[in-house]
Amino acid sequence: MRNSSSSGFTLTEMLVVGVIIGLLSAVAVPNWLAFVNQRRMSVAQEEILQALQSAQNEAKRVERTTAVQFDLNSDPPLISVNNRWQTLGRGELKAGQLLLTVSSSTFSFNAKGEPVSGQIPFKATVTAPSSKAKRCVVVHTLRGTLQEANGSACD
Q: Which amino acid is residue 131, in one-letter code?
A: S
DSSP string across 39-104: HHHHHHHHHHHHHHHHHHHHHHHHTS-EEEEEETTSSS-EEEETTEEEETTTT-PPTTS-EEEES-
Model's pTM, two decimal places?
0.82
Residues 111-124: tens digit of each pLDDT: 999 999 889 899 99
Distance CA 44, CA 53 (A): 14
Q: What is the rounded average pLDDT of the residues 126-136?
A: 89
Report pLDDT for 2: 57
Share of the chain above pLDDT 70, in %: 96
pLDDT score for 44:
93
How far is CA 43 from its chain centroid?
A: 5
> For residue 117, what pLDDT is reported?
87
For each of the domains in the chain, give its residue range(s) and CATH number, in order of start. 13-154 (3.55.40.10)
- Looking at the chain, the whole-number percentage of residues with pLDDT higher than 90 is 55
CA angle 123, 127, 133 (to 5 degrees): 105
